[in-house]
Structures are given as C-alpha cells and as structure tokens.
Amino acid sequence: MKKKKFETIAIRTQLEKTENREHSVPLYLTSSFTFEDAEQARAMFADEIPGNIYTRFSNPNNSEFIEKMCLMEGTEDGFATASGMAAVFVSMAAFLNSGDHILLCKSVFGSTIQIANQIFPKWGISHTYADITKPESWEGLIQKNTKMIMVETPSNPALDLIDLEWLGKLAKKHKILLNVDNCFATPYLQQPAKLGADIITHSATKYIDGQGRAIGGIILASKELIKEVRFFSRHTGPALSPFNAWIFSKSLETLAVRMDRHSENALKLAQHLEKHKEVELVKYPFLPSHPQYELAKKQMSAGGGIVTFIVKGGLNRGRKFLNAAMLSSHTANLGDTRTIVTHPASTTHSKLTDEDRASVGILPGLIRISVGLEHIDDIIEEVEQALEKSK
C-alpha cells in the first residue's frame, strides 16, 4: 500500500478498537495491568513477550502517541516523558557515563545549559560549548571521550540554524551520537532523522499540544537506542501520564494545519516589523534577510511560529513593550494558539551573564513572539500599539 501523507498519518494512526467499537481512542487511566496467569507475568517481566505491565513502563495511550511521532519523524521507536526537560535530560543521561564528554551548541535552551553546568559535573561528565554561527570550529572541539553532540535548531530564542546534514556526517565520522531538539520546527516542518540525527527530542508542551494545556516530552530514535532510554526511564520514573498522552495524540491531528497558519502569520508579522522604525533587527528563518535563509529553505518546509526582534531602547523598552501588551499573553510558554510575548533577557535567560546572553544573540531589547492563530491583522495591530505605548 502507498505510504500515507503526514496529515493522514497524524489523524488515522490510532489504537485498535475495543469491543465497545469507539471512534475516538479511550483513556487508559490505570496504574497497572492484570495478567492472565503467572507464566504471562513472568514472560512480560522477562521481555519475552510484549504487553503492558505498569504505566510507568508503558500504557496504550502513550504507545499511540509514540507511534504517531515515530511515523512523523521517521524513527523506529520512542519513549514519552513527563516534560520536555525530562526528555532532554534522559536523552543525554541515558547514554553518558562518568568520564564522558558532550559537545553542546551554546544556544540550546537555558535549562539544558544548567544541566551541563550544574548537574553533569557532579557525575564526572564534562562539556564544551560550540558557537552555532561558527560551524567550522566544531570538529576541533570534539575530544577522544566525546559521546554526543546536542543541538537545537532553530535555536531559542535567537532563531539561528545549524546545517543538520553536515552535522550528521560529522557525527558519523567521529562515531558520536547526534541529538537534536526539534521543538521549534516540529516534525511537520523539519525531520532531523532524515538528515543524520540519531536522537530527536521534543517538548510536547509546545506545538505538539498547541493549546497550552499539558506538560510532556518525547524521545525518538532507533530501537537499539530507545532500549537504553527505556531502561533508564523505567528505573528513574519520568513517564508521561496517559491523560496527557491522549491530549497530545489528539492534538497531532491538527498539527499540520496549525503549523501552516503559525508559519503564515509569523512570516507576515516579520515582514511588517522589518519596515518598522522602532525596530532595530528582525529574525525569522524564512525572511531573506536571515543570515541562514538558504539553509532554512533547505532543511525546513516553512519558518515556524517564532519571530524575534530587537526594539530600540534596550532593556527598559523591552519591559515596557511587554507591559503594553493587551491582546497577547505574557507567559513562560510558546507554541500556543494564542500569541505569546516574552522578554528573554529579564526572564528565561536572566541567569546568564550579559556576555553569555550576547554570545547567543540575546540582546537587552530582544522580544520573542510566539505568533498565534488569531487573525494576522489583530496580531499586527497588537504589536503596533505596544511599540507605540512603549516609546
């Protein structure tokens, strides 16, 4: 049979019907599952036969969510976690041992940096940061004990990109795992596994849910690698709740249409801001002015829903802009149907030094907008009034 298209996979992949003949998959809100006899229990615990034992290990709702994401990302297997940061942490910790080294893109998410800076050193795991804007320097940063490269592209919040095909070949050359945080792009706009990534992580809290309702994450990779992830997770307990898995699986049914509109609105907003006299700089992957515009078109099908821009007036102007927001939400999230504005220098990345923030493109006047699904005219009007009031 001909392979189904992305949207069809997202909508039609679901668990087999029960005897109740339901059209929508039911919730499996149970902590454990019963066995038919002692031999079945023994065989399941010995991994000789498949089956659900305990929801910390697996659950039908989680399995459906994982199956959909595997089909979308082009991977063999996956494990769903209780949060996006749990996914990021497990995707590294399951493979790193004392004495190992990880090469991290300097512009990964702030909490990922805290794991590398504050937690991994306790376990004897070292790290080096690589500049996303200087890919020619990366190979020289690889050490004999380097086991993994971790990147986020587009980066948060500077929207810088790394060439995943090039990076995949570099990782293979040195026999290193390539771990890609694909949260901003989603599998609809970018599929890192096809470009050489070994592991893909997501905060499902963002675009996968898309409505600001639930916290969760997912790790996707080959069956061999997920076996390590599953063992680590089974004994440390970061499993996703079945209810949230059910929400995410249902949300995936509309991912394509949502990302189309997010990307359309974001591009129009970015184009509008480029002409604004109160704006110093606009960054959006599908703007021709973006330094990596050609790369964005090569590895992404659209630019996504995040726009960043620098307002004239620096830190104080940035804060005033947020205070002037009326329609948009001021909250620590992104990927919602509702437009969200944040000021990274004073919130998400405030614990970094001024020098560290500047090195990853987070300047005092930088505003990050997660462009929602409202009418574009209303979004533009909202930004215009906030710029005017914050002068």
Per-residue pLDDT reduced to its tens digit, 45-58: 999 999 999 999 99
Element (H, E) at 251: helix 242-251
For residue 154, cis peptide bond before it (omega within 30 degrees of 0): yes
Mean pLDDT of 284-293: 97
The yes-or-no verdict on residue 351 having pLDDT over 70 is no
Provide CATH code, domain 6-254: 3.40.640.10
How far apart, in whole angstroms, are the C-alpha atoms of residue 186 and residue 201?
10
84 within 8 A of 99, measured Cβ to Cβ: no
Confidence (pLDDT) at 207: 98
Distance between CA atoms of 317 and 323, rounded to whole angstroms?
Answer: 10
Separation between Cα atoms, residue 65 and residue 78, nearest integer Å: 9
Residues in the chain: 391
Q: Coil, strand, or helix at residue 54? A: strand
Domain 255-389 sits in CATH at 3.90.1150.10
Q: Report how far residue 328's alpha carbon sits from residue 339's, in angstroms, rounded to the nearest whole number.
A: 5
Q: Domain locations in the chain?
A: 6-254, 255-389
Distance separating the N- and C-terminal Cα atoms of the chain:
60
Rounded Cα gap, residues 106 and 126, in angstroms: 14
**CB contact set of 204 (below 8 Å; sequence gap of 6+):** 80, 84, 214, 216, 217, 218, 240, 244, 248
Position 302 scores a pLDDT of 98
Per-residue pLDDT at 353 exceeds 90 = no
**CB neighbour class for 141 (10 Å; exposed up to 12, middle 13-18, buried from 19):** middle
Q: Is the pLDDT confidence value at 269 over 90? A: yes
Residue 308 phi, psi (nearest 5): -120, 145
Phi-psi region for residue 99, left (φ > 0), alpha (ψ -120 to 50) or beta?
A: left
Q: Is the pLDDT of residue 212 over 70?
A: yes
Q: Based on DSSP, count helices (H) and strands (E) in the chain, helices before strands.
A: 14, 11
pLDDT in tens, 124-154: 999 999 999 899 999 999 999 999 999 999 9
* φ, ψ at 40 (rounded to 5°): -65, -40
Average pLDDT over residues 155-160: 90
pLDDT over threshold 70, residue 195: yes
**Mean pLDDT along residues 167-193:** 98
d(CA 301, CA 303): 7
Task: Name the percent of the chain lying above pLDDT 90.
Answer: 88
Using a 10 angstrom Cβ sphere, with 0-12 exposed, 13-18 middle and 19 or more buried, the burial of residue 36 is: exposed
What are the beta bridge partners of residue 354? none
pLDDT at position 363 is 78
pLDDT of 1 > 70? The answer is no
Q: What is the pTM of this model?
A: 0.95
Amino acid of residue 352? L
Nearest to 95 by CA among 178, 215, 158: 178
- For 95-133, the pLDDT digits (tens) are 999 999 999 999 888 889 899 999 999 999 999 999 998
Whether the link from the prior residue into 26 is cis, omega within 30° of 0, is no
Better pLDDT: 364 or 62? 62
d(CA 32, CA 126): 39
Torsion 198-202-208-214 (CA) sign: positive
- 329: alpha, beta or left? (left if phi > 0; alpha if psi -120 to 50): beta
